[in-house]
Amino acid sequence: MTTAPATAEPIKCDRPPELKVVGMSKHFGSLVALDNVSMTLKPGTFHALLGENGAGKSTLVKCIMGFYTPTAGEVLIDDQPAKIVNPRDAHHYGIGMVYQHFTSVPAMTVAENLVLSRYDRTNLINWKREMEALEAFMQSSPFQVPLDLPIAQLAAGQKQKLEILKQLYLHSRILILDEPTSVLTPGEADEVLGLLREQVTAGQLSVLLISHKFREVMAFVDEVTILRKGKFAGHGLVKDLTVADMSEMMMGEKKEPTPVHKIIQEQTKPVLEVRNLHANKDNGVEAVKGVNLTVHSGEIVGIAGISGNGQREFVEVLAGQREATSGEVLVNGEPYGATRAEMYKHKVFALPEEPLRNACVPHMSVAENMALRTFDRPPQAKGFILVWRAIRDMASGLIKQFAVKTPSPETPVGNLSGGNVQRTVLARELSADHIELLIAANPCFGLDFNAVDFIHTQIVNARNRGVAVLLVSEDLDELLKLSDRIIVISDGQFVYESAIANADFAAIGRSMAGH
């Protein structure tokens, strides 16, 4: 990266400057990710950038930050053209970004991360002086994070606060936040956004917030700019708009999610029983600390929790990807070790998170991936020989039935979009004639409205057919919509359980935060 000594120090000013984006376009080859978008971030305002996944929000802010070189268009700071070719230049103009994924170094302490983030040229670090300066900074900042803890030991909420603190520490006057609350409890999100709102109101900061949570937009934001399929789709003051107006601008048409029709199950039996299960994380630290759970047929049990509280390890044990350190898993009353034979016998299926990593072989074709459960049994196999025609025919049928958009059944599944990878897995896992147990983990993460709606409908249909469903999700709205019973996991333990009819939103939020 080129170094520009003249721009190493930020322009220190008390008031945030005005940020204007004029006619910004970005093409990736033939794909137009951003098409002639303009917007203005007025000084001292809280501005939201709204849009579906793939609408171009991230592309736009990455162009502003100098991560991407825009195909056309420019950025004006206080009406002066600004040349921003890398994040360091953006920093010079007082623009700082908080990313969707944490950008702190896990093995380093908070203090080390803060010092490291500074764009100055001190080569030797005088830790005594730095610690004094950092403690003084921490005193004056809106939220506090312990300086001497390694990042790996911070909770998600603290990490997110640190990311914002980092920008304040760098004297950024314009903060760009890329879905900062996706890993926070509703309570934590309100705290963080509320404190930023105070700074904005005081005229200290401007904030550009990328979000798709209308609740946050309505509560904290002054102005919105809406993108759809890379194009400008609308703009306005939040006080003049309703949620319905904004969602219509986001999606281009009014769309109501398909309502969930749950059939009341007459006779249920326990399908999955988990008894006092313990499991470790990769680094040997205990992640699941003795959980007990029963899932009955025709029931969706939702597990809520902030990521990193043991739900990933829990699902991995149930899916056979991780060994439990102690405890028992029973399916239909028999010990279950997630071997292929047991999965087949008890009809256990799974929709794991990150399907491309956990449920597909990316270089194998869509047809081969769809056959992973069945290729070794008739009619797809005769003895040791695979019957390719049967595999292809089944795949063609499933591609049609589950509306998988793929050039052909022979296309490697890794070439498909996220939504279509998930549909491929869904087709494989939900097409079996008889399913007893379905384990789903964040099945809709990062998918667009249509894909989410489709998956929700499929899961509820499975439940109505009498399948026992365990749904682990970080999306509370999804859980409240689909579950019959909701459980909260915090620090590897189940800390809250309630039938959905009696579930208390505030209590769920509190137990997610570990209170």
Contacting residues toward other proteins, per CB under 8 A: 1, 86-88, 91, 99, 101-108, 112, 115-117, 119, 121-125, 127, 280-284, 323
User: In the bound complex, what is the minimum distance in angstroms from residue 163's beta carbon to other proteins?
Assistant: 10
In 10 A of CB 14, how many CB atoms? 7
442 DSSP assignment? S
- Residues in CB range of 18: below 8 A, 6 or more apart: 40, 41, 42, 43, 76, 77, 78, 79
Closer residue to other proteins, CB minimum distance, 279 or 455: 279
User: In the bound complex, what is the minimum distance in angstroms from residue 420's beta carbon to other proteins?
Assistant: 23
Closer residue to other proteins, CB minimum distance, 254 or 357: 357
Closer residue to other proteins, CB minimum distance, 122 or 502: 122
Task: Return the residue matching tokens 């040349």.
Answer: 83
Closer residue to other proteins, CB minimum distance, 286 or 475: 286
Closer residue to other proteins, CB minimum distance, 8 or 387: 8
CB 51 within 8 A of CB 212: yes
- Residues in CB range of 389: below 8 A, 6 or more apart: none
Cα angle for residues 261, 267, 270 (degrees, 5° grid): 100
Closer residue to other proteins, CB minimum distance, 313 or 436: 313
**Nearest residue to 227 (alpha-carbon basis) of 247, 250, 255:** 250
Distance CA 386, CA 380 (A): 6
Closer residue to other proteins, CB minimum distance, 117 or 369: 117
CB 16 within 8 A of CB 47: no
Closer residue to other proteins, CB minimum distance, 109 or 420: 109
**Nearest residue to 394 (alpha-carbon basis) of 376, 423, 374:** 374
Closer residue to other proteins, CB minimum distance, 249 or 338: 338
Distance CA 438, CA 487 (A): 17
Q: Which residues of 249-285 are buried (b: 16+ CB within 10 A; e: fewer)?
A: bbbeeeeeeeeeeeeeeeeeeebbbbeebbbeeeeee
- Give the three-state DSSP class for 403: coil
The H or E element containing residue 57 is: helix 57-65
Tell me the sheet residues that pair with 331.
272, 334
User: In the bound complex, what is the minimum distance in angstroms from residue 318's beta carbon to other proteins?
Assistant: 17
Structural Rg of the chain based on CA atoms? 25
Distance CA 168, CA 132 (A): 17
Closer residue to other proteins, CB minimum distance, 120 or 240: 120
User: In the bound complex, what is the minimum distance in angstroms from residue 80's beta carbon to other proteins?
Assistant: 22
User: In the bound complex, what is the minimum distance in angstroms from residue 117's beta carbon to other proteins?
Assistant: 6
User: In the bound complex, what is the minimum distance in angstroms from residue 170's beta carbon to other proteins?
Assistant: 10
User: In the bound complex, what is the minimum distance in angstroms from residue 401's beta carbon to other proteins?
Assistant: 36
Closer residue to other proteins, CB minimum distance, 101 or 357: 101
Q: Classify residue 22 as exposed, middle or buried by CB count within 10 Å of its CB (0-12, 13-18, 19+).
A: middle
User: In the bound complex, what is the minimum distance in angstroms from residue 157's beta carbon to other proteins?
Assistant: 18
Closer residue to other proteins, CB minimum distance, 103 or 141: 103
User: In the bound complex, what is the minimum distance in angstroms from residue 208's beta carbon to other proteins?
Assistant: 17
Half-sphere exposure of 147 (CA within 13 A, CB side): 16
Cis peptide before 379 (omega within 30 of 0): yes
User: In the bound complex, what is the minimum distance in angstroms from residue 344's beta carbon to other proteins?
Assistant: 26
User: In the bound complex, what is the minimum distance in angstroms from residue 87's beta carbon to other proteins?
Assistant: 5
User: In the bound complex, what is the minimum distance in angstroms from residue 112's beta carbon to other proteins?
Assistant: 6
Task: Please give the structure tokens belonging to residue 247.
Answer: 């969602």
- Give the three-state DSSP class for 262: coil
Cα angle for residues 72, 78, 84 (degrees, 5° grid): 45
